[in-house]
Amino acid sequence: MSKISKLVRGIWLGVTIAVLGVLLSLIPAVLALEEEWGLDWMFNLRGPRPAPQEVVVVSIDQESSRQLGLDERPNQWSRSVHAQLVNRLSSFGAKVIVFDVFFRHERELQSDLEFAAALKNAGNVILFAHLNQRPVAIPNQIGGSKTVLMDQLVPPVAVIADSVLAYAPFPLPKVPARVNQAWLFKPSSGDIPTLPVLALHHYATSAFQQIQRQVGNLTVVQGQGIEEPDEAYDIESFSQRVRRIRQKVRNENYSFAKPIADDLGLMHGPGRYFNVLAALHHGPDNHYIDFYGPPQSIKTVPYYRVIKPHDPDILSAPGIEFRDKAVFVGNSELYQPDLKDDFHTVFSSDDGFDLSGVEIIATVFANLLEGRSIKPVDRILSLSLIAVWGLSVGLAFYLMPSIAAVLSAVALIAVYLAIAAAGFKSNGHWAPIVIPLLFQLPLALFSALLLRYLLSHRERQRIQKTARYFLPGEVVDSLPDWKQEDLVDAGRVVEGVCLASDAESYASFAENIEPRELKNRLNRYFELLFYPVRDRGGVILDVVGDAMLAFWERTPDSEDTKLLACQAALEIQSKLSGANAQSVEDAVLPTRIGLHCGEMMIGNVGAGDHFEFRAVGDMINTTSRIEGLNKYLGTRVLASARVANQIEGLMITRRAGKFRLKGKDKPLEIFELVGVPEDIDAKFLDLRVTFLDGLEKFESGFWTEAKSIFEILVEKYGIDGPSLFYLRLCDHYLQHGSPVSWDGVNTLAVK
């Protein structure tokens, strides 16, 4: 392959990876994965970070219930207690107080009035309001109407709502989904600002006043102009001011002028949040939350520590300071299995530690206060990055050697994640992760390796096609794996499982049939033998007359060769039985099979100008002897213990005894291979148990007891080859005496 054609293929692969990546990035489901996985990885790589000291959470928890002697259900607490909390926080100098508690219904009048008075006196409290969806009929042009769902703001109970600075919603998912974003302005509710937005505007009062001056011609819903910042304003006007500024910026593309330091005091003083508010109104409706860490990463103070009577000076408690702080009050427990106000986040754990709703509100507020959020990379820039990345990895992996490509892929993942994590940590920039690393890079690597393999495989097939005229196909297929010295010596030692087969009564069968018909019968016969072997990865090593020798080589990457060989043996018997049942005229010969495992040499055997590719070794002879043992035991498939022990539990076997085969000194333990468990009935299993009992008696030299057992087996189950074999031996030993030095091994003097 020329360098130019290789480069062209690499560029083609890179362009394909780039295009697929860009197309995938346009699919919403893939973008959802980016948010689900990519964002999770970024937070895990970054880890927790310090939360602003200006934000404090006051947690309504079970410990506070116990300390204050209140009901364990916080929604049943007297609102007089909340009045005490507001008074304490106000006296400590809290700048804004936000309650993530919905005071929807009236309670005891006195406690409601106390709470309302505390709220009015504080003048800086914002309460939670609920958003309900209600059906609204909208008329159409043909006189009918259609029903749509619209958001309706449900405020707190009137006596309380009339006493606070503002109330606002903070919608979060009602399903068990991970919270990644939060609403800042709710478009479906007319751009109504949410709790953290209103809290920020009150917290940054000086900056808010400057913004109001710049948009002084803004009108509220009632058609009145915006009041001067130093004038008193009611609940609706405060929320409406924020809302109308947002609408003006959106509808009129309004731009804020850079404030003058003298107007605000020093830019690092009270008016330093002007740019924060300006960016908020120019920004999106929703906000990717930059979580600070696991639950209570934001400074959290238990409710009881703020108002407990015997601790009047809470400021003396170490680490607690409320002056000029934004305080968020709500349900918050480290472990809250029964609390409905907890939400799954990137820092949630499997043991139930989720973030409470109040801490999420406080987190969004803290993000806004810092002027920081998680910012996905610009869409055009993201698509460009994905395209360049896909082109680069596709081209590079194709041009690299395989090992270098794999190592480079690992290195690229580490480098990409390191760069992405650095940008995420420093300024919240969120680069795409899922498509580049989980799709493009693996696909590029796999495609490059596969493409190179297919090209080399095509070249190898061309060579093999020629070589098949001179060597068996299985040997030709393995030639690329041979070393040069293997090719010269034409032989190698291999380990595996050998299968030997032989047809019964082949000589008499061949004697009574025409040669051409014999050839056709043999072809059909070997077809039934070859396919089961080859289908299970075996190699046909030799065919002589009616006998076949097959082999499964054991390699580090190969499957269980013993199981494959046994499966092939059983399928051969099944195919032969099926063929004989279909047609008497075309019946094939019954076949005996032996299985053994070990080492052997395969290679060229011969001399002079004639060589044949053969397998030689003791394992071949032993396998042939095991196959021949079927004649005496009346069985079809026998295997040595080295094979049978490896398939225990996967196939049904029967121990057939110990045998010293013809020409062998060492005894072998032999097993009959019967079938797979689902094909064996209970009758045979009973026979096997009784047979093993008889075999044990036989091997112990108890001929009379053994004979009785085998006679029962023959009488009860009919013809059973192994039982008849041992029954005859028992008769022989009872009549002629036991063998000298009997060791339980049957010695065969013939093949």
Is 70 exceeded by the pLDDT of residue 267?
no
DSSP for 75-126 reads GGS-HHHHHHHHHHHHHTT-SEEEE-----S---HHHHHHHHHHHHHH--EE
Q: What confidence score (pLDDT) does residue 544 get?
A: 85
Beta pairing partners, 140: none
Mean of the pLDDT values across residues 739-745?
88
pLDDT in tens, 223-238: 333 344 444 445 557 8
Which helix H or strand E contains 342, and what residues bound it? strand 342-343
What is the percentage of the chain residues whose pLDDT exceeds 90? 48
Q: How far apart are CA 283 and CA 281, in angstroms?
A: 5
Taking phi over 0 as left and psi of -120 to 50 as alpha, with beta for the rest, 253 belongs to: left
> In the structure encoding, which two tokens stand for residue 174, read together?
């009602």
Q: For residue 105, what are its two tokens?
A: 């219904």
What SS3 state is found at 405?
A: helix
Q: How many CB atoms lie within 10 A of CB 50?
A: 9
Q: What's the confidence (pLDDT) of residue 437?
A: 94
Residue 611: strand, helix, or coil: strand
474-673, what's its fold?
Answer: Alpha-Beta Plaits (3.30.70)
Euclidean distance between CA atoms 503 and 155, whole angstroms? 94
Distance CA 725, CA 246 (A): 100
Residue 54 has pLDDT above 70, yes or no: yes
At 448-496, the pLDDT tens digits run 999 888 888 887 777 777 666 445 566 666 666 655 454 445 677 889 9
- Amino acid 205: pLDDT: 87
Q: Contact, 108 vs 82, CB < 8 A?
A: no
List the single range of 37-46, 279-288, 422-431, 487-496 with lowest mean pLDDT: 487-496
pLDDT band at 199 (very low <50, low <70, confident <90, very high): very high
Mean pLDDT, residues 29-44: 89
Q: What is the pLDDT of residue 229?
A: 42
For the entire predicted model, the pTM comes to 0.60
Specify the domain boundaries for CATH 3.30.70.1230 within the chain. Answer: 474-673
Sequence-ordered alpha helix ranges (H) in 583-674: 618-633, 641-644
Residue of 572, 503, 502, 496 whose CA lies nearest to 534: 572
> What is d(CA 13, CA 452) in angstroms, rounded to the nearest whole number?
11
Give the least confident one: 71-85, 156-170, 554-568: 554-568
Dist CA 326 CA 170 (whole Å) = 17
In whole angstroms, what is the distance from residue 561 CA to residue 665 CA?
27
DSSP SS3 for 325: coil
Confidence of residue 144 (pLDDT cuts 50, 70, 90): low
Residue entry with tokens 């008769």: 731
Q: What is the DSSP string of 542-604?
A: EEETTEEEEEEE--TT---HHHHHHHHHHHHHHHHHHHHHH-STTPPPPEEEEEEEEEEEEEE
Q: What is the arithmetic mean of pLDDT over 243-256? A: 79
Where does the pLDDT of residue 222 fall: very low under 50, low under 70, confident under 90, or very high at 90 and above?
very low
Mean pLDDT of the residues in the chain: 84
